[in-house]
Chain A
Amino acid sequence: MFKQVFQTGLVPYRRPDEWGGIPTGIGLQSLYNPWLITPPREYAEAFGGVGPFVLYSDRTETITGPTTIGLIAWTNRIYWPGWEIVHYKFDGVSGALLSRSAVVWGAVEAAWTSGVQQGFDGRLWRSYLTDLHELSDDLGQTLRVIPASRFGRAATKLPVPDVQNDIIVLPSEAVLTAIDVYRLSTGEHLRRIHTSDVPGAICPERRGRVFVLGKTRQLLNLINFETGEIMATWKCPSPVGAQKMLLSWDVVYRRLLVFAWTPDAENGASTSRVIGYYPLPIATNLCTPIPLQVPRKGRTVPVLTRVVGDAGEPVASVVVTGAASGAAVMSGYGSQIVTDSGYAVLPVECTDTGLASLDFSVPA
């Protein structure tokens, strides 16, 4: 669990009366996907197919700030041809929707795109058929193609290229829970790094580091792929019922952007949005107080607790406060800052024989 510091507005769907009305013709003028407007649903579009498939952030300035957040999604709609690839842009400060435009990929092109990813230089790449395509800024052209065979792979899904440092990170095809690191120019396999979960999203953080989000238990690793070290393991915040999660790192505000595709509301309205977090775990649980020495009347004993986040990871630098009743009182200040390992030890003075009750807490 991270502290939320930002959110965009909900990804907006359009109603028929905000768009082109309800089609009543035949052929290309007929009503596509009539379920979209079958009551209680009332919107002319909704995420469908592979749904949202890339979240990114870049340094495109807006009137309020230095960053823009992009989301590209497959949508179903009531108009011919029944689907559309939509490119949403949000203000990186206010979270407001800046623009919504169609990506001009044909049906075959869209259908054979199995993933779009942001590279370290901010440019978008896509895995098309099996190969890796570097895209132009308007997403309409392929600047270059790198075959999957260069890396000895069948496909290049979820690619994270670092052109400047001649590296590419891909989920391993040989091991379910691992990423593979290759030399981009030659395809040389540099190393394999096992991950805590099956990679479902990968995004660059800074040079040599990527976030890898698991799709089984939403475990999130921060990985230094130059050394092979897993620097941290957390649980990524994930709304109940999320069908898909996307990840991006905002290099300006140093926040983790997470998009979760959540089920539409009963009337068909979108419930999905981009949320920003500071990637520092917040406390979700406090271990039951554990005396480390045998309590006896007249003895002051150290009592241990531990502050952890929702992956059981230690949470440091929070204050634990204790209260005692019955046959004991808190000794000293009755509070303690936890260590880097999340542990805090508070002294408790045993004033009598019999039972004592201890209540430790982390003040908000």
Chain B
Amino acid sequence: MLEQLAGPFDFHDADGALLSPSLASGAPETVWDDDVGLISHMTIGEAACYTVTQLDGLTYPRSTYDRARPLVLDMQRENALLAKAWIDLATLYAFDKFSGTYGEAVSSGATGHMLYPMVRAADRYLQAANSRIYVMTLEAPMTTAVEFLFSGALGTHAAISRTEEDDVLCIAWSDTGVVTYYNCTAKQEVRARQYLPSHLKAWYSPRHKVFVLIDSAKQISVHAVTPRPDAVSAPEALTPVTRGRKSILRARVTGSNGEVCAAERVDWSLEGPGLLGAAQSVTDSDGYATIDYYAPLDMPASPIITAGVTF
């Protein structure tokens, strides 16, 4: 499980009043954007409006539109968003994320057939749902087809984010918390899967390299891209323990889903004869930490060496 860095924070306005984001099923009007913050739609004061929320939940009105429109990632323009018309969900409009306003219509195709979350890629529309990637053509977006089926049951709803790579999307599946990465050029899953707690919505922030998550209590939290250590394996000897010789031992640190935990500090302890080369060592990229053990010539009892992680 990816480690929580901060939060959970309540959504609140500048006066400290609690707010409730309108996170209906799929919450298509809510998107994390590194330039702006969390773009959402909720009631502040007496009326609903588009809002911008910082990572600590502080929320401001950004435009007064009382109807939420689903937002769509636009991969054809740098860090851009599109908005669907709220009546027929068909026409796509440019969306000015800084002012919370709509611009020119960019497509009038029947994209209402496609649910959310949705992406306009260079050559097609994509949607992630039901452990699948669905696609529609840009020219005649009438019917959807399955482009890719992820292994395992990942859930129904997901949120899609940009990553540092132009053609790789990050997909956070709400029901299971699984994070998958999809290369929309190669049309295949890439990178190792990661695991968040189950949530309402979560996005990857390529600028800050963290995940922004809204949980079922509608609170916002920030998670690292590294897993929280959950288990340390029993030390194993890489070289046999021999009287009067140095031997090398190692232990592996893993997360709750068996993920590799790199760069974690492992504390070593010894009961019995001999000497450890150090009290601590750091895990490598495979999650292994190694330690030297110096066995004495005289070993009246077997040494007991343990490894643990403290933080």
Contact = CB atoms under 8 A, between A and B. Distances in A.
A296 B264 contact: yes
Contacts of A193: 101
B63 interface: yes
A221 B64 CA distance: 13
A288 B101 contact: no
Contact of A287 (B3, B34, B58, B207): B58
Contacts of A353: 310-311
A219 B226 contact: no
Contacts of A284: 14
Contact of A217 (B49, B59, B103): B49
B58 A310 contact: no
Interface stretch (A124-132, A182-190, A195-203, A318-326): A195-203
Interface bracket on B = 35 or more
Interface stretch (B92-100, B162-170, B240-248): B92-100
Nearest to B104: A228
A33 B230 CA distance: 78
A198 B62 contact: no
Contact of A294 (B54, B100, B207, B224): B224
Nearest to B210: A292
Give the interface centre of A219, A288, A290 by most chain B CB atoms within 10 Å.
Answer: A290
Contacts of B265: 296-298
Given A198-B64, A310-B14, A285 B58 contact: yes
Interface string B87-120: 0000000001011111110000000000000000
Q: Is the interface of A mostly helix, strand, loop or mixed?
A: loop
Interface in B20-78: 34-37, 45, 47, 49, 51-56, 58-65
A221 B99 contact: yes
B128 to A, nearest CB: 26
A195 B96 CA distance: 10
B9 interface: yes
A293 interface: yes
Nearest to A195: B101
A335 interface: no
B63 A312 contact: no
Contact of B99 (A198, A233, A291, A294): A233
B311 A290 contact: no
B285 to A, nearest CB: 16
A216 B60 contact: no
A177 B64 contact: yes
Nearest to B53: A312
B14 A288 contact: no
Nearest to A217: B61
A304 B208 contact: yes
Interface of A: 177, 193-198, 214, 216-217, 219, 221, 228, 230, 232-233, 235, 284-285, 287-298, 304, 306, 308, 310-313, 341, 343, 353
Top 3 A-B pairs, shortest CB-CB distance: A312-B60, A288-B56, A194-B101
6 contacts: A230-B96, A233-B98, A287-B58, A294-B228, A312-B51, A312-B58
